[in-house]
């Protein structure tokens, strides 16, 4: 009887060890404390969402459904064990060959196709994703912004900001704006160490071996010897892989054995899909392709250039102005370049802008949409400088004349074409147009520019400039007309 009782006590001890062993092991993990932050959790999501819109305008999203589903499934497993706020994590794959991944505040994560191709198994891929998710969970992006902003604006602003008042956009603009902002993506060594540690802890909780994360860092070190260009972006924003491998191994020893769970599954099928696709471009190739100064489009005043512009695609994409003032459709093989300040966008084919040197550029082929401030017209009218091709004195005619005069001052070779002024409609409202023409000092060809102006409800105006060599203008008139017809203007309190 006594022997049986001892046996029951021993069995109970074994059961208790089974229940409490994992928590005791996890209690040995490194404690990580998030840093100072000016922003609320909701503002993290707001910043991430706005940045994601701009990122996806610049970088190509991979459309393969199996790959997208697979990455999202891994992401959801990791998100279920992520510390910190309950962010709405989202996962997308970029069709880029560089071995890299990044996450924006609020949980918007991007994994390069090159990273998936370089990984040897699901656990390695999950390791990189866990590291990026840890940056989000610890709010490193907005921590960096907070420190950068206070460095520039001074501690005197702290009380006002913490008192509320929707200062998100002002702060972000101060440190460089939304999108692929380095302040969101390039972290301190301390933040990188924290993300590696928390990432390893997340892997164990999700059933992945954190040593796979360490192994992948070793693979990256090997890739850096064979093909350093694929890791150029990674190394610009992360510490050396060897240091990170040692750090993860140290944390793995603290965490102890991993509770094995089945993998998401499908890694080899995803890799097979990727192998059958055309090669993905590198970031460097994308930057070259997206630059409006490509090919032979480099010249100087007084010397012509070879245009060689690709015909516009019949398929259209939509550009939405970031403040919501307008949207317009454009050929999918053209590129929109939105101004960092103001409301302007320049939409051009590759080669549509010539670099004149010394920071000067000239659009020789494309469309510009911009906002006109009526206060400029009033100031010029007071100085007797409001004459132009439109004889009337309505607000629309005055604004159109003023814009024409500004164009002629900046482009002295252009002249209004006689009797070219017309009444038009843009998005259901009355508009005016006029044609300007002259021999371009850049291309040494006859250039034609059509200006269209439409008033806004506040008395300001929105205008378009349609620009092309005169010899090609008639061919382009169809796509120009489609763009004009697609323009939708929205009322804003400015």
316 Cβ neighbours under 8 A, 6+ residues apart: 329, 330, 331, 332, 482, 486
Dihedrals phi, psi of 492, to nearest 5 degrees:
-125, 150
Nearest to 123 by CA among 277, 27, 262, 323: 262
- Name the region of 335 (left: φ>0; alpha: ψ -120 to 50; beta: rest): beta
Residue appearing with tokens 């084919």: 349
3-state secondary structure of 134: helix
Residue numbers of the chain with a pLDDT score lower than 50: 1-27, 153-166, 235, 237, 292-306, 377-385, 493-494
Q: Residue 260: what pLDDT?
A: 76
Q: Residue 410: what pLDDT?
A: 82
**In whole angstroms, what separates CA 477 from the centre of its chain?**
32
Q: Residue 168: what pLDDT?
A: 64
Kindly state the helix (H) or strand (E) to which residue 95 belongs, with its residue range: none
Q: What is the CA radius of gyration of the chain?
A: 29
- Cα distance between the two ends of the chain: 88
Would you tell me which CATH number, out of the four given (3.40.50.12160, 2.40.37.10, 3.40.1000.10, 3.30.70.1450), belongs to the domain 291-489? Answer: 3.40.1000.10
Domain parsing of the chain, residue ranges:
31-276, 291-489
Nearest to 443 by CA among 468, 465, 466: 468
Q: Residue 379: what pLDDT?
A: 44
Tokens encoding 61: 């999203």
Q: Residue 162: what pLDDT?
A: 40
Distances (CA, A) of 456 to 47, 325, 424, 484: 29, 10, 15, 16
Cβ-in-10-Å burial (0-12, 13-18, 19+) of 29 comes to middle
> pLDDT digit string (tens) for 49-100?
988 988 888 889 998 999 999 999 999 999 999 999 999 999 999 999 998 9
Tokens encoding 407: 């164009």
Nearest to 104 by CA among 167, 180, 166: 180
Q: Residue 34: what pLDDT?
A: 82
């Amino acid at each position: 009887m006594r022997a049986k009782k001892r046996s029951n006590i021993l069995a109970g001890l074994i059961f208790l060890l089974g229940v409490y062993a994992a928590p005791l092991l996890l209690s040995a993990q490194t404690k990580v404390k998030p840093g100072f932050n000016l922003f609320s959790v909701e503002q993290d999501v707001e910043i991430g969402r706005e940045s994601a819109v701009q990122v996806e305008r610049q970088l190509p999203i991979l459309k393969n459904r199996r790959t997208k589903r697979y990455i999202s499934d891994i992401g959801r497993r990791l998100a279920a064990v992520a510390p910190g706020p309950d962010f709405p994590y989202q996962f997308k794959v970029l069709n880029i060959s560089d071995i890299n991944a990044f996450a924006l505040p609020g949980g918007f994560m991007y994994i390069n196709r090159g990273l998936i191709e370089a990984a040897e198994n699901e656990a390695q891929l999950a390791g990189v994703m866990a590291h990026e998710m840890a940056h989000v969970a610890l709010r490193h992006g907005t921590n960096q912004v907070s420190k950068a902003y206070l460095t520039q604006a001074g501690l005197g602003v702290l009380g006002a900001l913490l008192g509320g008042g929707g200062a998100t956009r002002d702060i972000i603009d101060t440190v460089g704006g939304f999108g692929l902002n380095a302040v969101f993506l390039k972290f301190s060594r301390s933040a990188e160490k924290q993300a590696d540690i928390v990432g390893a802890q997340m892997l164990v909780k999700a059933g992945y071996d954190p040593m796979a994360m360490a192994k992948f860092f070793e693979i990256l070190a090997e890739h850096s010897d064979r093909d350093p260009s694929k890791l150029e972006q990674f190394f610009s924003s992360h510490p050396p892989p060897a240091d990170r491998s040692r750090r993860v191994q140290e944390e793995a020893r603290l965490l102890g054995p991993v509770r094995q769970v089945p993998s998401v599954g499908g890694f080899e099928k995803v890799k097979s899909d990727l192998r059958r696709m055309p090669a993905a471009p590198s970031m460097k190739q994308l930057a070259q392709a997206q630059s409006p100064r490509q090919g032979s489009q480099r010249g100087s005043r007084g010397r012509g250039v070879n245009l060689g512009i690709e015909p516009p695609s019949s398929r259209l994409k939509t550009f939405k102005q970031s403040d919501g003032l307008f949207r317009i459709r454009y050929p999918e093989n053209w590129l929109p370049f939105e101004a960092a300040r103001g409301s302007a966008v320049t939409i051009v084919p590759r080669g549509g802008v010539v670099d004149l040197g010394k920071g000067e550029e000239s659009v020789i082929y494309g469309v510009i949409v911009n906002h006109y401030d009526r206060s400029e017209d009033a100031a010029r009218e007071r100085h007797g400088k409001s004459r132009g091709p439109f004889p009337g004195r309505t607000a629309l005619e005055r604004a159109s004349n003023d814009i024409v005069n500004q164009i002629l001052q900046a482009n002295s070779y252009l002249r209004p074409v006689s009797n070219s002024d017309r009444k038009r409609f843009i998005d259901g409202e009355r508009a005016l147009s006029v044609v300007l023409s002259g021999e371009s000092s850049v291309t040494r060809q006859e250039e034609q520019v059509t200006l269209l102006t439409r008033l806004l409800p506040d008395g300001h105006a929105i205008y378009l400039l349609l620009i092309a060599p005169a010899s090609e203008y008639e061919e382009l008139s169809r796509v120009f007309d489609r763009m004009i017809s697609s323009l939708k203007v929205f009322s804003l309190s400015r």
